[in-house]
Amino acid sequence: MDPIKSLRESAFLQNKRNRILLIAAGLLFAAIIIMMILLMGGATEKLFAPSLTLLSPAPVAVDNRDEINVDVLLSDLPDRVYPAASLSVRFDKNKLEFLGARQGTMMTLGDSTQEEVTYNIPIWKSDAAFANQTGELNTMYLDVTGGKFAYVREGFQKDEKDILLRLRFRLRDSAQVGEIYDITVTDAVIATIGGAETRTSLATAMRTLKAYSAKIVVQ
């Protein structure tokens, strides 16, 4: 007899309650297996990690030489103090010219006093000439006081103060209609003090920060 058929027609499985229990047990077993796989892969952390998204701009006309802004959007900022952040992005230096970084909307602490807390929108340091030589732009914000001018939760607000910075590009004359250029995050970190040890920094290298790249479409 077909073993499956015999199993199906067994007295045990004829009982509805038993079938329900068996199905539930099976689902639980599967969930445990999946969770173990996820945990072993560290994907749980990755699953719930904040994300950094390079927002793809609208398609650009091939003869357009205006600035193309690529906003760097952060999904969330846990309530910690982040005195430093950096972003490495690869781009096609033969098709795109990197012009520099522009201020976003996320704020750091400013020159606060005991009476008043003020905020700044910082400008990240970048080197357009070096980036255009190498095809990789590296930009960094560094609060050398170690916290007085750090990014903080109060300087972040979804939809209003969530753009970390803006990257400015321009099409080169070699751009062709129909081409698509990747703007790829190769490394990103929003760092806390001792954050590598405590895993409190948001970092792609630690998988505590997800990163989504952008594309520039030429039309």
Partner 1 sequence: MKKKFLSVLLVLSLVLSFAGPAFAQDAPAGYVTVSVDINTLGNGFLYEPVQVPFYEGESFAQITDRLLDGKYENSGSVDDGTFYMETVILPRAITVNIPQFILDETGPLDQTGKAEGETLGQFDYYGMSGWMITVNNTYIDRSAGAVYAQNGDVCRWQFTVYGYGADLGSSFMSDPMYERADKDALTAKVAQINSAPNKAELLAKSGVQSAYDAAYTVLGNLRAEQSAVDSVLTALNTALQAQPPASSVDISIHLSTTLDYMLGTVPAPAFGTGGGEWTVLSLARAGHAVPEGYFEDYYGRIEDVVTENNGILPSSSSKKTEYSRLIMALSSLGRDSTDVGGYDLTAWLSSMPQVQKQGINGPVFALIALDTNGYDIPDVLATAAMTGYSTATAADQVTRQRLIDYILDREIKKGTDDAGGFALSGTTPDPDMTAMVLQALAPYRSQPAVAGVITRAVTALSAIQRTDGGYASWGSVNAESIAQVIVALTALGVDPATDSRFVKEGNNPVTALLRFYVEGGGFAHILGSGAGSGVNGMATDQSAYALVAYDRFVKGKNSLYNMTDAFTSTEEPPEQAASIILEGPGQITGKAGTAFNVLVKTKAFPEGNFKLMDGLLNIPDAFSVENVAASDRLNGGALSWNYNAADKKLRFVYTNSSLENIGISGTSFPAELLTVTLKLKSDMDEASAATVSVGGLTLKEKSDAAAFVFDVAQAALSVAFSTVGVSVRELFTGDGVDLIPADKRAVAVTFSGIPAGSGLDYKGAELIFSPEMTAKQGANTYVLFTVPTEAAEELQKAENYHLQGAAASVVAFGDTDGNSVINAQDALDMISAWLRKTSVSTDLQILTYNVTSDARINTFDALAILEHYVSGAELAILSR
What residues line the site for partner 1 (CB under 8 A)?
Answer: 83-86, 88, 100, 102-105, 107, 110-111, 113, 118-127, 129-130, 133-134, 138-146, 148-149, 166, 187, 189-197, 201, 203, 205-206
The least distance separating partner 1 from the CB of residue 162, rounded to whole angstroms, comes to 13
Q: What are phi and psi of 105, to 5 degrees?
A: -125, -15
CA distance 200 to 11: 55
Distance of CA 1 to the CA centre of its chain: 56
The least distance separating partner 1 from the CB of residue 147, rounded to whole angstroms, comes to 8
Nearest to 124 by CA among 158, 94, 163: 163
Nearer to partner 1, 191 or 218 (CB): 191
One-letter amino acid for residue 188 of the chain: A
The least distance separating partner 1 from the CB of residue 190, rounded to whole angstroms, comes to 8
Nearer to partner 1, 113 or 176 (CB): 113
Query: Tokens 């170690």 belong to which residue?
Result: 146
The 10 Å Cβ neighbour count of residue 37 is 10
Nearer to partner 1, 49 or 191 (CB): 191
Q: How many residues does the chain have?
A: 219
Nearer to partner 1, 28 or 205 (CB): 205
3-state secondary structure of 100: strand
The least distance separating partner 1 from the CB of residue 163, rounded to whole angstroms, comes to 8
CA distance 28 to 88: 42
Nearer to partner 1, 7 or 196 (CB): 196
The 10 Å Cβ neighbour count of residue 168 is 16
The least distance separating partner 1 from the CB of residue 110, rounded to whole angstroms, comes to 6
Q: Are 109 and 45 spatial neighbours (Cβ–Cβ below 8 Å)?
A: no
The least distance separating partner 1 from the CB of residue 3, rounded to whole angstroms, comes to 53
Cα dihedral value 164, 166, 167, 171, nearest 10: 150
Nearer to partner 1, 10 or 134 (CB): 134
